[in-house]
Structure 1
């Protein structure tokens, strides 16, 4: 992934977006319980939708107001390219399935996408208070600390990860996930298979993990992490090695020293 020029966020946009996402995070934190909510599938889905609705009610208007002329990408699980212009791609509860099961791996994310490339993002973890931010051409940060990807050059020493983008993936995608995990277990050191994507990608950006891949084009789980990793010095492509955009069918974000080796392992899996 690359941008042709640095994004001019002005003097207040990042702070305005951060404030909106943190406010939304408090709403999601207040809905959290340390025990699972819902037993049947219908109950779980109802809890997930309730989380989304509660957070969007406090997030949508502040974001649209912060960037006049921007538009809202409605479908959280949608993939493929967006129309030209600036769009907010938001996941009101990234890791929603974890939230409703009383687990702690969840966040609120908001990313401004311009002509199918992410240019500004905020990822807030309400339980820890940590906030990850990035602006195209301006670097990536955890709170006030700059982020830098791993310096590893040996895939055999790499901690990598993947996961499914949604429960509704098709059988071919599930098969590719399984084959890719086997291939990377053979070639790498350790593979994490978990959701959500953003919670793995923040570790890639911070240098704790070395690569993350996904056989999916679901935008909301990838745009924030793509920008964070890229601005932290990582390489973000599709699995053909082409620069990643929201129109790409699959995704690889890696430390530059192992990207080519990871691509060699993953690209044959069709």
Structure 2
């Protein structure tokens, strides 16, 4: 799969769309939410999605009218052939809803299950991360390069949930992997969303991120950014990653093998994750 000249020409318009949606979401950031129940949180999350999608969906559809649209950002698995927009209107929506700063807006064009173009905008910092397949990755137009660390014991690594309501087996694997990495790395971050950790690997601020099970919208943008910056994307056994893989690993070239050695010791899932 290769990007086309049209993908390069499309990127500025995609950047404009995520930036406009981000501006709207920055204006909706609560100072202190008044939640009492889980339902209150879920309602705020849906309202945020609707506000962002009101900008993103018509703009991206206009740019690629023939592309499919994934309406549920929590979906996983392979897509049908052809082009698809995989968007997270508020990546880290649960953080936004609680007045936290770890959130952004992402849009990724996928062609035959491979991400070919992505834009990730962080409105509170004004930063925009972009990548086009075969064209490298950038932060505000400046090329991204991964970390040069050669020791996992000196690495900043991270993981997190793919989505609320994972199976008990997935939670057990997350716990076991955190324990294993605590013994083999310098510092570990356990947080959501995945994209905001993956951009740190692409930018050379972190070295390893892994996740058991997956959600398309949380991994595709970061996967393209990491690989185009010069990092390595695989599953936790070191095999090539795709949307049908059971888990996910992004790492610097120097530390990918060491990360696989640690994570390969975690027993694999005995059943599929929906």
State the TM bucket, normalised to the shorter chain: over 0.9
Whether contact under 8 Å (2:92, 2:192) holds in the other structure is yes
1: distance between equivalents of 2:202 and 2:221? 11
> How far has the Cα of 1:243 moved from its partner?
1.3
Between stretches 35-44 and 231-240, larger displacement belongs to 35-44
Structure-2 change in CA distance of 1:28 and 1:11 (3 Å): same
Which residue is 1:25 aligned to?
A: 22
Give a deviation string over 1:7-65, Cα, whole Å, max 9, x none: 43345300110111111111111111221242211111100000001111111011111
Give a deviation string over 1:56-94, Cα, whole Å, max 9, x none: 111101111112311101211010000001111100011
> How far has the Cα of 1:6 moved from its partner?
4.0
In the TM superposition, what are the counterparts of 1:18-167 in structure 2 within 5 Å?
18-167=15-164
Whether contact under 8 Å (2:7, 2:117) holds in the other structure is no
Give a deviation string over 1:105-127, Cα, whole Å, max 9, x none: 00000001111111100000111
Which residue is 1:197 aligned to?
A: 194
Give a deviation string over 1:221-268, Cα, whole Å, max 9, x none: 000000000000000001121111111110000000000000010022
Q: CA RMSD, aligned part only?
A: 1.1
Which residue is 2:221 aligned to?
A: 224
Whether contact under 8 Å (1:150, 1:204) holds in the other structure is yes
Q: Does 1:246 align with 2:251?
A: no
User: What residue ranges of structure 1 are gaps of 5+ in the alignment?
Assistant: none
Whether contact under 8 Å (2:7, 2:132) holds in the other structure is no
> How far has the Cα of 1:174 moved from its partner?
0.5
| 1:186 counterpart SS class | helix
TM-score after normalising by structure 2: 0.95
2: distance between equivalents of 1:195 and 1:11? 30
Which residue is 2:272 aligned to?
A: none
Q: Does 1:268 align with 2:265?
A: yes
Whether contact under 8 Å (1:24, 1:58) holds in the other structure is yes
User: What residue ranges of structure 2 are gaps of 5+ in the alignment?
Assistant: 268-274
2: distance between equivalents of 1:54 and 1:120? 23
Whether contact under 8 Å (2:22, 2:122) holds in the other structure is yes
Which residue is 1:170 aligned to?
A: 167
Q: Which 4+ runs in 1 deviate beyond 4 A?
A: none
